[in-house]
């Protein structure tokens, strides 16, 4: 799908037509930067959800007093617990204020890693949070959801319509420009298809590794073909970096295999605690990320593919 760029005139023409007033992009404060880029690409109004945090931690959420029938509601779901509650308050209020169709734009989809009960009694967060989100919206847009064993986004979040866009081609092209001829390395088997897509888009070679996780920060990575790293720049490419343990282990393996330089590129830059320090200590020289999570490493924007997906779900192409 290509992004539909509406001029201000085209956008204004939607007002008063049979399908009702133009949709709004409604943004939580922490999502306003990316939401602004989406709204501007679609020439849609950008309005704010305001959130007040009471001293005891509860939130008061306030929306504009009246809403159009269709809204794109943009919320960040990294560091998700309080944000999920604020999202629930906003979505239910939006219905009361006139929104009939809510397209949820969640650039990072939280709680997706636990897709089964690995031990008896464990909550399957992907299924539970997925159902929770599905009850709040009519359609969902996200970026590189962490669905390694789930084939379709709608299986995790059972909404009538869902769209997932990928930052892999954007990141891989950025790597190709910054480090021509770099070898893209998938640090685990799950990342292989994703890295392959990026490599093909950017005209780079790619390689794979196997990962064994023993704990939150205890990870071992073994390269499938270490000889391919010798003497060249290796760029690790993954969908998400949290503690940085996966990338650090992969970087050490690439260094041990003789890589001349090791860089890293990820879609979702969670980078909790001392993750960046862990990567530097492992010899990673450059770190790039997409802007699904604001972070100093942001180097590419997913605004264009996200706007294209939102345009499709809001039927802006039909306007």
3-state secondary structure 162-192: EEEECCHHHHHHHHHHHCCCCEEEECCHHHH
Which position among 30, 115, 239, 291 is part of the footprint of ligand R5P (CB under 6 A)? 239
Burial of 160 (0-12, 13-18, 19+ CB in 10 A): exposed
* Using rule CB under 6 A, residue 70 touches ligand R5P: no
Stretch 148-187 residues interacting with ligand R5P (CB under 6 A): 148
Question: For residue 270, what are its two tokens?
Answer: 């969670």
Q: Which of 211, 228, 268, 295 is catalytic?
A: 211
Binding marks (x or -) toward ligand R5P, 124..153, rule CB under 6 A?
------------------------x-----
What is the residue whose two structure tokens read 């690409």? 41
- Report the residue number, 78 or 238, with the smaller CB distance to ligand R5P: 238
Among 238, 265, 269, 287, binds ligand R5P (CB under 6 A): 238
Which of 141, 241, 254, 276 contacts ligand R5P by CB under 6 A?
A: 241
Question: In terms of Cα–Cα distance, which of 214, 272, 213 is closest to 241?
Answer: 272
Q: Based on the residue annotation, tell me whether 4 is a catalytic residue of this protein.
A: no
Angle at 290 between CA 284 and CA 294, to 5 degrees: 95
Binding segment for ligand R5P (CB under 6 A), chosen from 43-51, 87-95, 124-132, 237-245, is 237-245
Judged by CB, which is closer to ligand R5P: 204, or 219? 219
Nearest Cα neighbor of 260 from 182, 196, 198, 195 is: 182
Residues annotated as part of the active site: 211
Using CB under 6 A, list all residues that contact ligand R5P. 148, 188, 190-191, 219, 238-246
């Amino acid at each position: 799908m290509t992004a539909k760029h509406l001029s201000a005139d085209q956008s204004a023409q939607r007002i008063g037509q049979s399908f009702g007033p133009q949709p709004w992009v409604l943004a939580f404060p922490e999502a306003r930067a990316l939401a602004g880029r989406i709204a501007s690409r679609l020439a849609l109004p950008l309005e704010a959800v305001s959130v007040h945090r009471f001293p005891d931690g509860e939130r008061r959420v306030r929306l504009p007093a009246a809403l159009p029938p269709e809204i794109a509601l943009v919320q960040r779901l990294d560091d998700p617990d309080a944000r999920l509650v604020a999202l629930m308050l906003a979505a239910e209020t939006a219905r009361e204020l006139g929104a009939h169709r809510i397209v949820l734009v969640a650039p990072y989809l939280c709680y997706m890693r636990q897709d089964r009960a690995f031990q008896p009694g464990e909550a399957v967060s992907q299924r539970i949070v997925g159902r929770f989100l599905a009850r709040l919206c009519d359609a969902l847009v996200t970026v590189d959801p962490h669905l390694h064993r789930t084939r379709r986004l709608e299986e995790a979040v059972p909404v009538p319509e869902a769209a997932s866009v990928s930052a892999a081609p954007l990141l891989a092209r950025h790597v190709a420009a910054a480090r021509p001829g770099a070898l893209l390395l998938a640090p685990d088997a799950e990342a292989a298809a994703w890295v392959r897509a990026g490599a093909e888009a950017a005209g780079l070679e790619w390689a794979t590794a196997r990962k064994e996780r023993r704990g939150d920060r205890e990870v071992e990575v073994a390269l499938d073909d270490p000889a391919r790293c010798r003497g060249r720049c290796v760029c690790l490419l993954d969908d998400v970096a949290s503690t940085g343990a996966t990338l650090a282990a992969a970087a050490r393996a690439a260094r041990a295999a003789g890589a001349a330089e090791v860089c890293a590129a990820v879609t979702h830059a969670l980078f909790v605690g001392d993750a960046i320090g862990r990567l530097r200590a492992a010899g990673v020289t450059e770190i790039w990320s997409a802007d699904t999570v604001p972070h100093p490493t942001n180097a590419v924007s997913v605004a264009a593919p996200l706007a294209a997906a939102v345009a499709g779900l809001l039927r802006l192409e039909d306007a």
